Amino acid sequence: MQQTERVQAGEKRKSMRRRAVVLVGVLLLLPVCYVAGVHAAIMHTARQQPAQGAEYMIILGAALWGDKMSPSLQYRMDTGLAYLKQNPHTKVIVSGGQGANEDLPEAVAMQKFLLANGIAAQRILVEDKAKSTAENIRFSQPLMTSNQAVLVTNDFHTLRAKLLAQRAGIKTQILAAPTPDSVKVKLFVREYVALIKSWCFD
């Protein structure tokens, strides 16, 4: 009898160990699946191309270094500028407030860049208060007379930006700018976390 009980206890311990191993494996696998799925969704969104002739474009702000545009913002502006030159009737909203280490609002620097590159002042609408992606979208919306826009941001940021625009009731087409190689890994990793925050709270 005792032998049988010992065998049964041993089998029970083995079963519990197997379950623990499976549970640990699942817990380790979930973040990997999340990152892989989100990355695929980001890249799918970034590959989209907007139709020509949009009424509005929104270029989302990014960091300034003093009064100079960071590479991320420069890529956004170069990408948006190319579309605006091909579509002379598109109005553009430049959106971005002033951060702690910035000499002026991001939107003002963005406006100056467009003016210096031949975009007429009457085509440029300035939103200079936003401090987050959600605010970029929300504060830009009152400047539009329709609910459709081309949204310009770096590729790593496209999925979250589109999600927030859709929640605000804006039908968006994405125009993705490259992400600088020097910060690509850092920004993608940060975005995986930021997406969870936006899904839950923004």
Domain boundaries, the chain: 48-201
Q: Are 121 and 81 in contact (CB under 8 A)?
A: no
pTM: 0.85
pLDDT class of 4 with cuts at 50, 70, 90: low
Report d(CA 59, CA 73) in Å as an integer: 9
What is residue 92's predicted lDDT score, i.e. its pLDDT?
Answer: 98
% the chain with pLDDT above 70: 87
Pick the CATH number of 48-201 from 3.40.50.300, 3.30.300.30, 3.40.50.620, 3.30.110.40: 3.40.50.620
pLDDT of residue 91: 98
Q: Nearest to residue 164, comparing CAs of 76, 77, 58? A: 58
Name which of 123, 112, 107 is nearest 60 in CA terms.
Answer: 107
Among 142, 131, 200, 196, CA closest to 169: 142
The predicted model gives 114-127 an average pLDDT of 98
**Do 172 and 136 meet the contact criterion of CB atoms below 8 Å apart?**
no
> For residue 11, what pLDDT is reported?
65
CA-based nearest residue to 177, from 37, 70, 103, 52: 70
Letter string b/e over residues 73-108, b meaning 16 or more CB atoms within 10 A of that residue's CB: bebbbebbbebbeebeebbbbbbbbbeeebeebbbb
Helix (H, G, I), strand (E, B) or coil at 56: strand
In whole angstroms, give the CA distance from residue 52 to residue 38.
Answer: 28
d(CA 94, CA 71): 16
Q: What's residue 199's pLDDT?
A: 79
Structure-model confidence comparison of residues 15 and 98, the more confident one: 98
